[in-house]
Amino acid sequence: MDKHTLYIKNLQLSYGRKTILDQIDFKLKTGDIHGLLGLNGAGKSSLMQSLSGSNKKADYHAFVDEHSVDLTQQHLQHVAYLPQDPFVIKGVKVTDVVQFWYPDHENQDKILYEPMLHSMHHKKVGILSMGERRFLEFLLVFYLPHPFLMLDEPFSGLAPLQIQRVQELIKEKGSQKGILISDHYYKNILQITSHNWMLRHGKLSLIKTDEVDKVYRKK
């Protein structure tokens, strides 16, 4: 599979007079799994929304394989995004949601035959538990064809076995996609990432695994 690189240059985001992201440069290659850490309100979701083109207030230059790209043109399918908040409508059945997202049988089967989702096909999304719904949403975004994937709190509300399965899938797919993951359960992240970024005061810097605990304890 071809390798791709996403490069973001000089990302700037302010809400009113408050600067959230300050002159951030960021590079992610397919095959890389990077963690995004930071205290509440540091700007992790804002960064992921910006990188996936869903935050229209962000200002930056984006390149894929050195070609300038407009990430807000989401039909170009550069970066997929799992948002922190639930997004699947409650009143529809799991099978219908999956068929809507994936018209092809191959991808439908990958999701519907996922062992931890198998017994839920005919349930409406609204009666799934929080963890079941989050797991479904993760799978929906995970199998999209985009080469880059932003996962905002994918472990939130998941049971330990589901966390393990999400980690397995991310590691398997890590060889094909460039993945950035943020989660407050940062130990789940550190188990699967090669590099970790800390977002503080609008700036992004690499952080070593053994320094992460210290930052969160200082809180």
Ligand X SMILES: Nc1ncnc2c1ncn2[C@@H]1O[C@H](COP(=O)(O)OP(=O)(O)OP(=O)(O)O)[C@@H](O)[C@H]1O
The span of 34-42, 104-112, 117-125, 206-214 binding ligand X (CB under 6 A) equals 34-42
Distance CA 128, CA 141 (A): 18
196 binds ligand X per the rule CB under 6 A: no
CA angle 1, 139, 77 (to 5 degrees): 50
134 binds ligand X per the rule CB under 6 A: no
205 binds ligand X per the rule CB under 6 A: no
44 binds ligand X per the rule CB under 6 A: yes
Kindly report the length of the chain: 219
Q: How far is the CB of 46 from ligand X (least distance, A)?
A: 3
Interface with ligand X: number of residues (CB under 6 A): 10
40 binds ligand X per the rule CB under 6 A: yes
Token duo for residue 158: 């998941």
The span of 33-41, 142-150, 188-196, 211-219 binding ligand X (CB under 6 A) equals 33-41
Neighbours of 40 (CB within 10 A): 7
154 binds ligand X per the rule CB under 6 A: no
Token duo for residue 86: 């639930």
45 binds ligand X per the rule CB under 6 A: yes
43 binds ligand X per the rule CB under 6 A: yes
User: Toward ligand X, which CB reaches closer, 15 or 87?
Assistant: 15
**Contact, 53 vs 73, CB < 8 A?**
yes
151 binds ligand X per the rule CB under 6 A: no
Window 97-116: residues binding ligand X (CB under 6 A): none
Q: How far is the CB of 32 from ligand X (least distance, A)?
A: 21
The span of 44-52, 99-107, 139-147, 211-219 binding ligand X (CB under 6 A) equals 44-52
Window 5-24: residues binding ligand X (CB under 6 A): 15, 20
Q: How far is the CB of 138 from ligand X (least distance, A)?
A: 17
Contacting positions for ligand X (CB under 6 A): 15, 20, 38, 40-46
